[in-house]
Amino acid sequence: MARSIENQFNSEDLRLARAKGYNMNQLIRGAWLGGVGGVRQVLRGRGNPSDSKWYRNGKGRSVKQAMEE
């Protein structure tokens, strides 16, 4: 599954990730939580999806949190 996620990132995604200090493992962690599209939102500053809507207590993580852990 990780290979499948990795293959979905394009050269622009990788360029932005490097510029922000993210490596491939961090991108995969973020995509595991919010998909490649969620990672792209974070990289481009257009959002930060999270899974908190699935928890009644408001807990959960955002894509950026997953990438930075």
Segment 49-62 mean pLDDT: 86
Segment 10-32 mean pLDDT: 98
Cα 24 from chain centroid (whole Å): 10
pLDDT tens, position by position, 36-47 = 999 999 999 999
Percentage of residues of the chain with pLDDT beyond 90:
83
> Which pLDDT does position 1 carry in this prediction?
85
Distance of alpha carbon 31 from alpha carbon 49, whole angstroms: 10
Q: What own/partner pairs with CB < 8 Å and gap ≥ 24 does 50-55 have?
A: none
User: Quick one: pLDDT band at residue 7, thresholds 50, 70, 90?
Assistant: very high
Structure letter (DSSP) for residue 54: G
Q: Which residue has the higher pLDDT, 58 or 1?
A: 1
Residue 62 φ then ψ, to 5°: -100, 165
What is the domain count for the chain? Answer: 1
Domain that holds residue 63: 2-68
Q: Helix or strand or coil: residue 60?
A: coil
